[in-house]
Amino acid sequence: MSLSSDIKRVLEIFNATRDNALPYREFDKPPLRSPEMTYGREQEGSLPPGPPPAFGLQGLSGKSGSSSVFLPPPIRSRKVFRPLEAPQTAGREAEEWPGLKAAVSELIPALPSPPSKWPLLVLSSLAGGSGRSTLSSVLVTENARHGRPCLLIDLNETSIYPYLFMNFRQEESIRMGRSWTFHTYEPTGVPMVVVRPDPEELRGGEGSGALSRLRDEIVTQAAGIFGNTGHPDPFVLIDSPPMTRQDLQDSLRTSSILLSPIRPDLPSLVSVKDMEKNFERFEREENRYCERFYVLNRFIPDHPLHQDIYEIFRQILSRRLCPFVIPEDSTVELSQARGESLLDVFPETPAAISMVEVSRWMAGKLAG
C-alpha cells in the first residue's frame, strides 16, 4: 500500500529532526505597550508610538496586482479611567424630585435600625394550660396601646390567637411557607403581626440553634413591613410550647429574657425545680447568666394551698418571681368566648389589671 505525498513529507521531516534536542523555537512576544508607560485616572496621553498600520485592499479597477493603501486617521490623545468610587452624599441637603418619589413610592425602605436590636421576649411554660397564650395576647395588645408594633411568632401546633384577636381588623397571607396574619389595633392604628411557621420546621431543625435561625429569618422578612409603618421598632414575642433542655438553651441564646407563667400547684413546683437545675447547668457550661422570670397565674388569694405554694416559689426563686400575681378570673374565658381583647372588654377586672402590671414590669426588664 503506497503512502500519500503528504504522509511521505511528514515522515521525511520527522526523520530529519528526530535527534534534534530543540525541535522548535519559542519566539519572544513583544509587549503590548511600553512597561514604563502608565495611565492614571485623569491622565491624558498618547498611545505608545508606532508606525501606522496599512491595510492592503484590492484595487478598485479589479485588475490583478493593483492595490490601494488605506491609512487610518492619526490617533489623538484620550483619557483612561479607573472605576469610580461611591459618591459621598452625607451632609447634603436633599432636593425635591417629584418624578423620583413617584417612581419609588411602592418600594419598601430599609429598616432604620438593625433587627437584632428589637426588644425580644421568649414566653414558654412548663406545661399546657398555664395561660401562656392569654398572657402573650395581653402583652402584645398592651404594647400596641402604647404605640409599639408587635411581631408574635406562634410556635404552637394549635393556635387560639385567631380567636383572641378576632375583633381586630386582619389580613392573612402565606409567605415562604409560613402563615402571616396582620392585625391592626384600631384605637392607635398600630400593626400586630402573628407568624405561624410549620411546627415541623422547628422540630426538624438539625442540631442546636433551630430557634435562633427561625427567629432571624422571620425578623429579616418582617423588617421591611415594620420599617414602612413609621412606628417605633417592634416588640418581638415568641410563644413557645413546653421546651426540652436543648430548646431552653437555644431560646436563651436567642433572647436575653425568658418569661414562664406557672400555676400554684405541685406539678408546677416540681417542674420549676427541674428547670432551675437545667438553667444552672447551662450557665456553668456556657459561662453566662440566663435571665428568666416566672409569673404565678390563676392564683386564688384565699386558698391556703395557693398561699403556701406562693411562699415556696418566693423563697426558691427570689427576684426571678414576678411581684405581681394573676388571679383566677372568669372574665378571661368570657373574653375568649366573645372573641374580644381582655383589655378592651374587661379592663378593670383583677386579671386584666394584673396582666397589665406584668407587661409593664417586663417592659422595664427589656429596657434595662
pLDDT for position 253: 72
Q: Rounded to whole angstroms, how far apart are CA atoms 178 and 154?
A: 11
- Asked if the model's pLDDT at residue 28 lies above 90, the reply is no
> In this structure, are residues 100 and 318 in contact, taking their beta carbons and an 8 Å threshold?
no
Q: Rounded to whole angstroms, how far apart are CA atoms 282 and 307?
A: 31
| Residue ranges per structural domain of the chain | 115-367
Task: List the single range of 43-47, 232-236, 313-317 with lowest mean pLDDT.
Answer: 43-47
- Asked if the model's pLDDT at residue 356 lies above 90, the reply is yes
Mean pLDDT of 245-251: 75
Mean pLDDT of 323-339: 90
- Asked if the model's pLDDT at residue 157 lies above 50, the reply is yes
Cell numbers at 168, concatenated? 381586630
Q: Nearest 5°: phi and psi at 173?
A: -150, 165
Higher pLDDT, 34 or 144: 144
Residue closest to 236 by CA, chosen among 209, 256, 210, 261 = 256
pLDDT tens by residue, 276-306 = 888 888 888 878 778 899 999 999 999 999 9
Specify the pTM: 0.67
Burial letters 140-175, b for 16+ CB under 10 A, else e: bbbbbbeebbbbbbbbbeebebebbbebbeeeeeee
Mean pLDDT of 336-342: 84
Task: List the single range of 33-42, 117-126, 203-212 with lowest mean pLDDT.
Answer: 33-42
pLDDT tens by residue, 207-218 = 567 788 888 889
Residue closest to 346 by CA, chosen among 356, 162, 185 = 356
pLDDT for position 91: 60
The CA distances from residue 168 to 143, 144, 153, in Å, are: 15, 12, 18
Q: Rounded to whole angstroms, how far apart are CA atoms 306 and 269?
A: 11
Mean pLDDT, the chain, whole residue set: 76
Burial letters 109-118, b for 16+ CB under 10 A, else e: eebeeebeeb
Cell numbers at 185, concatenated? 389595633
Maximum separation of any 2 CA atoms in the chain, in Å: 124
**CATH architecture designation of domain 115-367:** 3-Layer(aba) Sandwich (3.40)
Q: Is the sign of the CA dihedral 129, 322, 151, 341 positive or negative?
A: positive
Q: Is the sign of the CA dihedral 120, 125, 128, 134 positive or negative?
A: negative
Task: List the single range of 141-145, 170-174, 206-210, 329-333 with lowest mean pLDDT.
Answer: 206-210
Q: Nearest 5°: phi and psi at 284?
A: -70, -40
